[in-house]
Structure 1
Amino acid sequence: MNVTGPEPERPPAYGREPMNPGEHEGSSAQPTETEEQAKTSALVQASAATPVPFRRRRAGLSRGQWWLAGVLAALLLLASMILLVTLTTGQATAVLQAQATARARATRDVLASASAQAAGTAQALATQQAAIYATATAQSLATAQNSQLTATATAYDERLSQITQGQPGFSDDLSAPEETHGWDQGFSDAGTGCFFNNGAYEARAGHPGLIQPCLAHSTHFSQFVYEVQLTIIQGQEAGLLFRASSDGQSYYLFRISVNGSFALDLYQGTGAQTLLTGFSPAISSGLTQTNILSVLATQDTIVLYVNEQAVGSVHDHSLASGAIGVAAIDDQLPCVAQFSNAHVWPVPE
């Protein structure tokens, strides 16, 4: 038996609203524009509510940027090298300039010293307290007389040899005091004076520009050959005196230097002049070298000898006679000179 009753409700189709009674299935209504906008807005809001996190990509250098960086690096390296070379060159230049300046100064000092020594050679000493200088007239006369001496040196040497072959009228080895000769003895102050020491007669001059004469007061000669051996122990110059006055203020001085130079000076009271000066290879130069000094004085002619060789001659009649002696000279350096074997040969007038 069929029991009829109401039909069970069918579930609505998926995505569709249940139809109202009386509506035909095929005539379902289309969604309105308002409904579509509402749906779209809901979807957009749903997407914006949960955004996906993102990370920015690191940008790299372009080819042009790499090229520019390389150029800048090269320029920086080049500038550093130029700066280094400049600094090094500047330092080297400064060192070279300093060395050149030092050499120039040293050369200037050497030239100045040489000039001073040359000037000192041409100077004569003044009285016992001062130095003297040669005059231009005396220098000209000395030059002319040296030229003449070159031609007559052999004759002078022969004459000296002839005179000294005879017996000397005066002889003293100067190893000890000889009362009959009256040699000066004693010191005027420390380092200056005349005395016998170690078997020789010693003269010392200890003040710049000072000449210390040491006379044999008991002697007196007019025309003669006077000879003595000289050794300069300290200092630069020493020599022999002749035709000296009794007070020791006037005399001729024949002096030599350790540098090979010689001179003849005339002292008269407070005045002095150089009559002759020059250099000679006959002189044994240097300290502690022994030289034999001789002078031939006849009337107004004076001939100078070193080691029996004529080195110069001059004519002068200022002093005609007097005592003999020796001298030490402090030419900016204290002098110690030793003398021995003094001899005098009188020459007939």
Structure 2
Amino acid sequence: MQSFLSIQHLSKSFGAFTALDDISLNIEQGEFICFLGPSGCGKTTLLRLIAGLESSDQGEIWQSGVNCTKFPPEKRDFGIVFQTYALFPNLTVFDNIGFGLQNQGLSREKVQTTVAKWLETIGLSDAGDKFPCQLSGGQQQRVALARALALSPGLLLLDEPLSALDARVRVKLRETIRSLQKRLGITTIMVTHDQEEAMAMADRIVVMNHGHIEQVGTPREIYQNPASRFVAEFVGAMNFMEAEVNPQNQTMLANQPLALAPQPSRSGKVLLGIRPENLTFGEGITELPVQVETMEFQGTFVRASCNPLGWTSTSAIKVDVPVHQLANLSLHPGCESRLVIQEQHIHVFPAE
């Protein structure tokens, strides 16, 4: 079965800087995909190549079975929403949404009907006569979204559309975008550096770093089974502890053998990763001594930062303790305790 959007061996350089290096990716009809990664990883460049705003050095882009690699933006089937809204300041909200429709030669009646529908859809039915400067940032971004969708594109591209908004508005608007995308069934690609945004909105996340794709998967797959140390570190919090694989292929942490699968391809040092919520204080099969340094209240849990006693970690160990468990633990900064390691939650990475 042919994918709706197929990216094949795409590369792009700017002088000596390689922005994308042999990127291949298939996106299915109706999927919500997030390109996630730090600044400079290539996610925006990839979005711009899909839109035809940049040309690739090599590779191909196919949409709905058509090779559109060389098509200019106006010949491609997409709508786009930018971080900066990019609304026409001299046009009303109504005329901003209807701009593309008028350029397509639709009748005045059809334009009015379509724009009225979209104003109702985004909850701004009474704002058609206002100008962008009279709207809040969240309202302007909803208008930009309606303008992009009014032309019924096959593909919706979102270039960090929420990053300029405050936290509460950002959460509300991401719910609006996801709900609208599901209702319309439109294939959507969103660029973001915000892991929480990607986890909440995406069907699949494409984690990028230095022009490469590190991992593609559902939010759950990316979080629970990170393919590399970079993914583990970038998506969520992760503790890293140094361990060794002995000649018997046992993984040893602080001279204690762990019940992990043998590591035949690795010898010597390895790096173990475990998330803060998968560590507990108390008694268990594998216990490690620590000293609690700080405790930060985070609402539903307290994040304790601990220093290892007699064993090695790459940094302080973070432990997320549910608030309702605190009373039974007698934890406080400066106290000594023992961490319980549960092997089923450990990820093994090559040592650096």
Do both share a fold (TM > 0.5)?
A: no
Greater RCO (Cα-Cα under 8 Å, separation 6 or more): 1
TM-score (normalised: structure 1): 0.20
Structure (1 or 2) with the larger CA radius of gyration: 1
TM-score (normalised: structure 2): 0.20
